[in-house]
Amino acid sequence: KQEVTQIPAALSVPEGENLVLNCSFTDSAIYNLQWFRQDPGKGLTSLLLIQSSQREQTSGRLNASLDKSSGRSTLYIAASQPGDSATYLCAVSGWDSNYQLIWGAGTKLIIKP
C-alpha cells in the first residue's frame, strides 16, 4: 500500500530565504506526483505536476524534482514571500487508478516578514 510522508510538518523561515520541502513515498511505481497548496477556507490549488517519466518541473519561483528510485520529491521555493505562507501537500497516483490521489499530511509553511 502506497504511503506518502512529508517532513517537516511545519516550517517557519524569514522572508527572502530559499527553502526546500520534502515528500517521500514507499512505492516507486507511481503514475505522477503533484504538489498542492492549501490555504485556509480556500481549497487546494495544484502547483506542479510531474509525470513519472520526468525529473522536474518549474513554475516561476517553484521547482519540483522527482527521484522515483529513491521515492522522493522536493519542492524548492526561491526568494520566499509572506504570501507563500500556506500548507503544502504532495500527492501521488498509481498506474492502476491514476485518478486516485494518495496524499501526504502536508508541511505548514510560515514566512515571517
Partner 1 sequence: GAGVSQSPRYKVAKRGQDVALRCDPISGHVSLFWYQQALGQGPEFLTYFQNEAQLDKSGLPSDRFFAERPEGSVSTLKIQRTQQEDSAVYLCASSLIGGTSGRGYNEQFFGPGTRLTVL
Which of 60, 69, 96, 113: binder of partner 1 (CB under 8 A)? 96
Which of 78, 79, 100, 112: binder of partner 1 (CB under 8 A)? 100
DSSP letters of 3-53? -EEEE-SEEEEETT--EEEEEEES---EEEEEEEEE-TTS-EEEEEEEETT
Which of 1, 14, 42, 60: binder of partner 1 (CB under 8 A)? 42
Longest dimension (CA), the chain: 44
- Kindly state whether residue 7 participates in binding partner 1, applying the rule CB under 8 A: no
Q: Which residues bind partner 1 (CB under 8 A)?
A: 4, 31-32, 41-46, 49, 89, 91, 93, 95-106
